Structure 1
Amino acid sequence: MIEVTSGPVVRSGGEPPQGHAMARLPTLLLDIAGTTCALPQAEIREILPLPRLHTPPAAGGPLAGFLNLAGEPVPVIDLAALFALRDAGGGRDPYRHVLLARGGIAFLVDRALDLVQLEDESLRPVESARSLNGCVVGEFAMGDKLVHLLALDRILTLEERTRLDALTRQATTRLARFEPEGARAV
């Protein structure tokens, strides 16, 4: 359970402290190998329990595998492995969560912890040079912790996206071979 003090972060559905009428950003708190991070709720389509993932032989490193979503392979990136917080495949907890994000990608996290309303005044911007590809765009205090706000479109570098796109095309081709002739509308 997340303890939220009477500061500028408010639990989902809660009201800001008296006298505050600041804009609020709905933010999903995540546990990534014991590190609390956050993503704007608008960037997440769905939170899923960890499904069975297809892991092709070419997959490795932070690519946990592919989620078959209505016949379309969706790459699932293990954020703990990507951020070097844990070795790839090191988290075997069957109760982990998959965050289905906008843009045809999903992220594996240890837990989706809570949805909070983050007031603009509590968010401090972070210089893009302080994180790889500028993926940490802000930080805010929650209790005695400093939480990093991530930008979904900056989590992967251009080279990583290019390689992931190639693997996704391979998975799509492979999956299509298992469909009966003429069953798939193009």
Structure 2
Amino acid sequence: MARAAAFLTVDVAGTACAVPREAVREILPLPRLWRPPGVPAALAGFFNLGGAAVPVIDLAALFGLPAEAGRPMVYRHLLMLGAEAPLALLVDRVSDLVTVAPDAVNPVAPGTALNGCVAAEVRVGERLLHGLDIRRILLAEERERLDAQTRAAQARLAEWAA
């Protein structure tokens, strides 16, 4: 018997998405970010988490969605991912934690979304949400560039350490 699936429902520039609960380590309010010059628009910046430079990816910018006018940055949330390398996703709002039956999660056809980052349609009541595959949010080349930017940000933090 298939088990129910748990998802965080999030808003990304007015688009309802579902993120698998097991992919998210914690939800944080938006801290102060620093953004080096010349980084891609999708890299919202970095923040210092216990001496580690954590990159923040703005999902709206990454997906090419227009920012919602009037939404202050201060009310946005970060999804800290449970990966070996620290990474946070910036969303407009985390609205709920839902559990859905297995038949409420339907895979989308391959090639429907860039790199397969939208892996499923998730039905929550009458709403249909884009089920995101966190492992496919970034292309391999983007991940390599992000890793290089993160190493540079970590080196900058180390320069200022006691």
| Structure-2-length-normalised TM-score | 0.92
Q: In the alignment, does 2:6 pair up with 1:29?
A: no
Runs of 4+ residues over 4 Å off in structure 1: none
Question: Between Structure 1 and Structure 2, how many residues are aligned?
Answer: 160
Equivalent residue runs for 1:29-108 within 5 Å:
29-86=9-66, 92-103=72-83, 104-108=86-90
The match for 2:101 among 112, 115, 119 is 119
Contact 1:46–1:100 under 8 Å retained in 2:
yes
For 1:35 and 1:71, how far apart are their aligned partners in 2? Answer: 33
For 1:111 and 1:83, how far apart are their aligned partners in 2? Answer: 16
Give the structure with higher Rg (CA). 1
- RMSD between superposed Cα atoms in Å: 2.0
The match for 1:159 among 141, 148, 152 is 141
The match for 1:135 among 117, 127, 130 is 117
SS of aligned partner of 2:111: helix
Q: 1:135-186 CA distances to partner (integer Å, 9 max, x unpaired)?
A: 1111023344321110100000001001000000000111101113xxxxxx
For 1:127 and 1:117, how far apart are their aligned partners in 2? Answer: 23
Note the residue ranges of structure 1 that are not aligned, 5 or more in a row: 1-20, 181-186
For 1:110 and 1:123, how far apart are their aligned partners in 2? Answer: 23
For 1:26 and 1:74, how far apart are their aligned partners in 2? Answer: 26
Note the residue ranges of structure 2 that are not aligned, 5 or more in a row: none
User: How far is 1:119 from its partner?
Assistant: 1.1
| Structure-1-length-normalised TM-score | 0.80
